[in-house]
Structure 1
Amino acid sequence: MLGLGAKKADLRRTALARRLALDAGEVASRSDQLRENLFREFPVAQWQWLHLFLPLGKRNEPDTWNVIRWVWGEELSLRLAAPVVQPDGVSLKHYELLPDTQLTRNRWGIDEPVPDPITAPEVSPGVLDAVLVPLLAVDRTGQRVGYGGGFYDRFLAQCRPGTQFIGLNLLDDEPIERIADVLPTDVPLTACITPDRVWQF
Structure 2
Amino acid sequence: MEENLKATRRRAALARRRALAPAEIARRSAQLADQFFAHFPVAEWRWLHVFLPLARQHEPDTWLIIRRLWAEVLPFRLAAPVVQPDGISLRHYELTPVTPLQANRWGIPEPVPTPPHLAEVPPEAFDAVLVPLLAVDATGHRVGYGGGFYDQFLARCRPGCAFIGLQVLDDEAPVPPLIDVLPTDIRLTACLTPGSVWRF
What range describes the TM-score normalised by the shorter chain of this pair? over 0.9
Amino acid at match of 2:129: V
Alignment-derived partner of residue 6 in structure 1:
4
Residue 68 (structure 1) aligned to one of 66, 69, 81: 66
Deviation at 1:77, TM superposition (A): 1.4
Q: What's the TM-score, normalizing by structure 2?
A: 0.97
Alignment-derived partner of residue 124 in structure 1:
122
Residue 85 (structure 1) aligned to one of 83, 86, 100: 83
Q: Structure 1, unaligned stretches of length 5 or more?
A: none
Alpha-carbon distance between aligned partners in 1 of 2:43 and 2:118, rounded to the nearest angstrom: 22
Q: Which runs of structure 2 are paired with 1:172-187 in the superposition (5 Å)?
A: 172=170, 173-187=172-186
Alignment-derived partner of residue 199 in structure 1:
198
Amino acid at match of 1:25: A
Q: Which runs of structure 2 are paired with 1:14-93 in the superposition (5 Å)?
A: 14-93=12-91
Aligned length: 199
Alpha-carbon distance between aligned partners in 2 of 1:116 and 1:125, rounded to the nearest angstrom: 19
Amino acid at match of 1:102: P
Q: Percent identity?
A: 63
Residue 162 (structure 1) aligned to one of 160, 185, 189: 160
Amino acid at match of 1:29: R
- Residue by residue over 1:37-80, the C-alpha shift from the partner in whole angstroms, topping out at 9 and shown as x without a partner, is 01000001110000010000000000000111001111111200
Alpha-carbon distance between aligned partners in 2 of 1:119 and 1:75, rounded to the nearest angstrom: 21
Please tell me whether the aligned partners of residues 12 and 146 of structure 1 are also in contact (alpha carbons under 8 angstroms).
Answer: yes
* Structure 1 stretches of at least 4 aligned residues deviating more than 6 Å after TM superposition: none
Please tell me whether the aligned partners of residues 137 and 175 of structure 1 are also in contact (alpha carbons under 8 angstroms).
Answer: yes
Q: Structure 2, unaligned stretches of length 5 or more?
A: none
